[in-house]
Amino acid sequence: MKNHIQFLFLSHILFIIISSCSAASCYDTGNFTSNSTYANNRYQILSSLASNVSSNGGFFTTSIGLEPNKIYALGLCRGDSNTESCFGCVNSTSQELMAECPNQKEALSWGGDPECLVRYANHSFFGILKFDPSDAGYNNSDISSDFSDFAQIWDVLMDRMIDRASSGTSKLKYATGEARVNNLLFQDIYALVQCTPDLSPTDCSNCQRANIAHYQWFDSPRQGGYVFRPNCIFRWGSYRFYNASASPPPVNVNGLADDGSIEPGTIAAIVVPTITLFAFVVAITCIILKRRRKKRDQEVESKLKNLMFLL
69 residue type, one letter: N
- Distance separating the N- and C-terminal Cα atoms of the chain: 64
- Distance CA(311)–CA(307), nearest Å, equals 6
**Is there a contact between 117 and 108 (Cβ–Cβ < 8 Å)?**
yes
Total domains in the fold of the chain:
2
What is the DSSP code (8-state) at residue 31? B
Looking at the structure, do residues 68 and 159 belong to the same domain, yes or no?
no
* Residue 213 belongs to domain with CATH number: 3.30.430.20
pLDDT tens digit string along 42-76?
Answer: 999 999 999 999 999 999 999 999 999 999 999 99
The 3-state DSSP class for residue 238 equals: coil
What are the residues whose beta carbons fall under 8 Å from the beta carbon of 240, sequence distance 6 or more? Answer: 178, 190
Whether 199 is covered by a domain: the verdict is: yes
Domain membership of residue 131 (yes or no) is no
Residues 102 and 161 in one domain: no
**Residue that is last in its domain, among 60, 94, 126:** 126
100 secondary structure, DSSP code: H
- Smallest CA-to-CA distance from 121 within 101, 104, 100 is with 104
* Together in a domain, 156 and 111: no
For residue 256, count other CB atoms closer than 10 A to its CB: 15
- Provide the residue-wise pLDDT of the chain in tens; the chain has 311 residues: 444 444 344 444 444 444 445 568 999 999 999 999 999 999 999 999 999 999 999 999 999 999 999 999 999 999 999 999 999 999 999 999 999 999 999 999 998 888 999 999 999 999 999 999 999 888 776 665 566 777 788 889 999 999 999 999 999 999 999 988 765 555 688 999 999 999 999 999 999 999 998 876 555 566 788 999 999 999 988 888 998 876 666 777 665 433 333 334 333 333 334 344 444 444 444 544 455 444 444 443 444 344 333 44
Domain that holds residue 112: 22-126
Domain boundary among 200, 215, 237: 237
